Amino acid sequence: MEYSYLTDPGKVRDHNEDSVTISKNETGEILMIVADGMGGHKGGEIASSIALTNIAKMFSDTKSVGNKEEAISFLKQVVSNANMLLYKYTEENPESRGMGTTLVMALITKDYLLFGNIGDSSGYVIKNKKLYKITSDHTLVNLLVKSGEITKEQAKNHPRKNVLMRALGTNISVEMDVFDVETDVEGILLCSDGLTNMLEDEQIEKVLDSDLSASEKTKKLINKCNNRGGSDNISVAYLKKEEE
């Protein structure tokens, strides 16, 4: 497998509240993570960093996450732990109240593929050179789309587009959605909304379908966003599976 991850502040923000990593444990299992922080003075970057660092360490310290059921339980536990750490941090540092982070993860083992998400960072698989979104955004606008009150096109420029219904660290407990995905995919892409707000699926597909290396693809995606204005922090984690 070939993989790469990268984060960039973009062209408008003066600091980067995103965190991204790809971690491997002793058994060779892989955990991809993207977190997009929010809130307060430096609150967002603290939130995303605490969550990602804690989850990645617990994963790399674990020899194996076990079978699929054990892995789902593991993911939910590490997220619960990270949420409690963030919640306690805001309790002890009142100036950081309101800080939190989105979270999207992909766990790749030889037997199964799991995605988990909270908020509006996105997880995709690449199959037959096409992007397929696995995760579902926990946003007010997505709820309006699901209920039929607005269309997907109207959602793109909705004034309350950034209102999150779920985030890590904002409440004493949080529920993460977990998706069990077929393993016969060509690749996996995780990203913050700094990517998806700037590029259409077809533009992302074109980059991922090129002959570039994984690291060159992540750089090119970020450059494309910045060339279009880079209105937000941009984070990308990309993994290309071995040819069968």
Residue 139 sits in a domain whose CATH number is 3.60.40.10
Number of domains in the chain: 1
The pLDDT assigned to 41 comes to: 59
Is residue 83, in this structure, part of any structural domain at all?
yes
Residuewise pLDDT in 10s, the chain (244 residues):
899 999 999 999 889 999 999 999 999 999 999 999 998 657 899 999 999 999 999 999 999 999 999 999 999 999 999 999 999 999 999 888 889 999 999 999 999 999 999 999 999 999 999 999 999 998 898 888 888 888 888 887 787 777 899 999 999 999 999 999 999 999 999 999 999 999 999 999 999 999 999 999 999 999 999 999 999 999 999 999 876 4
Cα 124 to Cα 194: distance, rounded to the nearest angstrom: 15
The answer to whether residue 170 sits within a structural domain is yes
The answer to whether position 171 is within a domain reads: yes
- The boundaries of the domain holding residue 107 are 2-239
* Residue 244 resides in a domain: no
Q: pTM for the whole thing?
A: 0.94
Q: Is residue 112 part of a domain?
A: yes
- The CA-atom distances, in angstroms, between 179 and each of 6, 41, 68, 129, 152 are 24, 34, 11, 21, 22
Note whether residue 208 is domain-resident.
Answer: yes
Q: How many residues comprise the chain?
A: 244
Q: Sign of dihedral through CA atoms 151, 226, 169, 44? A: negative
> What is the C-alpha to C-alpha distance for residues 64 and 53, in angstroms, rounded to an integer?
18
